[in-house]
Structure 1
Amino acid sequence: MIDNQAARKDTLRSAARWDALLRSEDVTEQEKQAHDAWLKADPAHTYAWQQVEKLRRQLQSVPGTASLNTLQLKQYQGHSRRAVLRSFALLAAGGAIGSLAWRQAPTQSWMASHRTARGERRKYSLADGTQLILNTATALDVVETSTARVIRLYEGEIFIRTSERAKKVAANKALQIRTEQGLVIPLGTVFTVRKQDMSTQVTVLEDEVELIPLSAGDKTQRIVAGEQAWMSTRNVKVANAAPQADSWTRDLLVVVDWPLSSLVAELSRYRKGVLRCDPSIAGLRVSGSFPIDDTGRALQAIANALPVKIDRLTHYWVTIKEVS
């Protein structure tokens, strides 16, 4: 059985080869037609092609990309060398051509080595005993270099508990969590990291964590147990942590005086399809514990506690409305 990760990488490599062929000086009409047929053969082909085009556009602003050695080029002698270099630079951007390229053209989440689907959570341990729990719809890679162990978080949320062994290893090889916004460095601790659209949210449950925004120079920000921070590429905003911010690791969503719209938005992370609430009731306040493994039961609990009803157009299209 072919591993899904390997299949995704093979599809992306095929897309890069097509990119090289279509950019060569001697591409034929028959080859263009063959490319069209390849795109139509599988939706995954179309998606991979879109990612190659997107990465190529993003790399235009990156000064310098990885080159290929002679052996790599020999198998593509029929294509323009320059076109091949461009295409394989795109693939390299999805891996490791340096921090600048990773920032501007990060590995797409669908190629990540560790992933969870919508509503799924999964446990994972690093070689040093550090424990990870991946929340719903999370994608990350774990990369070890000579000086660091790097968790590259592309989307979603993770819970991290460093082990005693990890604290000793950290003296020589620091653990880092890297997002588009910057670095999160644990100082022997328990914490969560959540990738949001324009920021990285970090909640510290034990000890301390150091945050280093991408464009902040040498400026760092430490946050301690009981604090929560939102890191952009330039700064860090700190506040008190929400109660039981890690409740999702226990299969619950615990909320205290939340607007209904916020609760619905959180529940929708664990449910396939569309889940929304009518604007007229979005501001209703709610507190309680809601099961994230059974969002249907969570919705019924909301209906029992508030003057609302659950309107199901289909199983995948649900709206919470005011009781008329």
Structure 2
Amino acid sequence: MRGHAGHAVSRRGAAVKAALQRLADEIEVPLDVLIQALEWQVTSWSGEITEQESRSLLAWRSAREEHERAWNQVQSVSGRLSTATSASNGNALRSVRSSLPRRNALKVLGLMVGGTAALYGARESSIVQSRFAEFQTGTGETREIALSDGTRVNMNTRTAINTAFSAHERKVELVSGEIFVVSTKEADVATRPFIVQTRQGHVQPLGTRFGVRQDSRVTQVNVEQGRVLIAPANARNTAALDAGWQTRFTADDIFAVEPTPPNINAWTRGLLIVERQSLGDFLTVLGRYRSGYLRCDERAAKLVVSGSYPLADTDRVLTALELALPVRVRRLTPYWISVEAVA
């Protein structure tokens, strides 16, 4: 019996994680950000949240747009739960909130939010879920895929793609994350084009090397060699982008082109190379390669960073920042890191 119970718990945990992942994909945030929002909700439920924790919660919510999106979703789900719960059950729920240890309370909240997510929106998603994608990378992971036509696709951290090759086209669907493509030029390119499909439209290379990043509302494109054609989903016009330039586009429009920053695709070599970049922007990028929450205060964010840093060891990068800049790295937990300016 104990073995059967263990399997049941394992299946339930997997189902909750899957539901949470669907909700995270639906609102376009990483799963770990949604879990952080859940942890903050548990802290609020405890009834013992301190003034410092309240300030930290506000700072976390304002640090990134995706944090606020995750927090609002958790609040929305909690509101639906309250509306759907009778008075007696509501009292019992409040009792559970205050009496359970924080870790167990997080599990209960995950069960409720995960189950509610399955009922209230995951089924409505128009985005192909990352967890079902043909090729995926986790946090801090990169990999290279060789396609049947000889094209090479480098996948950055937290990336998911699907491929669909037919007699009429060769398509890579960028579900989430970032890729760098080294494409080949087929003899029948006119009748069998290669395209990268995103939520906002598609990019068609003409035998080239280029990068594509799928953000929540825009697609970013940079060209290292050759030329690409950009076609927003709802626009009739297309635009060509040449080597050395980058741009962004929505489903309706294409932004003005800008020179591509040097070493923008250094991640394909396992490096983050920057030249006089603000520490705030630097940590935003570095945070994609580690689980948990990485933030910096206002003074630290304005400091300037230059150098070459290994993406495979983000803790080593943080240590290097302490040595090179007037900052202190506070490790509250392995998943909660704060970089603060020192006098």
In the superposition, the TM-score normalised over structure 1's length comes to 0.69
For this pair of structures, how many residues does the alignment match?
240
Q: Is residue 197 of structure 1 aligned with residue 216 of structure 2?
A: yes
Cα offset for 1:170?
A: 2.1
Q: Deviations over 1:141-177 (max 9, x none)?
A: 00123311111111111110013xx432423311110
Task: After TM superposition, list the pairs within 5 Å mapping 1:43-54 onto structure 2.
Answer: 43-46=13-16
Task: After TM superposition, list the pairs within 5 Å mapping 1:1-324 onto structure 2.
Answer: 41-46=11-16, 105-163=126-184, 166-216=185-235, 218-237=236-255, 238-324=257-343
Structure 2: 5+ residue runs without aligned partners? 1-7, 27-121
**1:40–1:296 CA distance, 2 compared to 1 (3 A):** closer
Letter of the 1:306 counterpart? L
Q: Percent identity?
A: 37
Asked whether the equivalents of residues 213 and 221 of structure 2 are also in contact (C-alpha less than 8 Å), the reply is: yes
List, as ranges, runs of 4+ consecutive aligned residues in structure 1 with deviation greater than 6 Å: 50-56
Cα offset for 1:288?
A: 1.3
Letter of the 2:12 counterpart? D
* Matches of 2:211 and 2:245, distance apart in 1: 11
Q: 1:87 corresponds to which residue?
A: none
Asked whether the equivalents of residues 40 and 46 of structure 1 are also in contact (C-alpha less than 8 Å), the reply is: no
Asked whether the equivalents of residues 191 and 205 of structure 1 are also in contact (C-alpha less than 8 Å), the reply is: yes
**1:298–1:54 CA distance, 2 compared to 1 (3 A):** closer
Q: 1:18 corresponds to which residue?
A: none
Cα offset for 1:263?
A: 0.2
Cα offset for 1:50?
A: 7.3
Cα offset for 1:226?
A: 0.4
Asked whether the equivalents of residues 25 and 129 of structure 2 are also in contact (C-alpha less than 8 Å), the reply is: no
Letter of the 1:294 counterpart? D
**1:298–1:169 CA distance, 2 compared to 1 (3 A):** farther
**RMSD over aligned Cα atoms:** 2.6
In the superposition, the TM-score normalised over structure 2's length comes to 0.65
Asked whether the equivalents of residues 22 and 129 of structure 2 are also in contact (C-alpha less than 8 Å), the reply is: no
Structure richer in strand, relative to its length: 1
**1:105–1:315 CA distance, 2 compared to 1 (3 A):** same
Give the secondary structure class of the aligned counterpart of 1:42: helix
**1:259–1:39 CA distance, 2 compared to 1 (3 A):** same
**1:301–1:152 CA distance, 2 compared to 1 (3 A):** same
Cα offset for 1:219?
A: 0.4
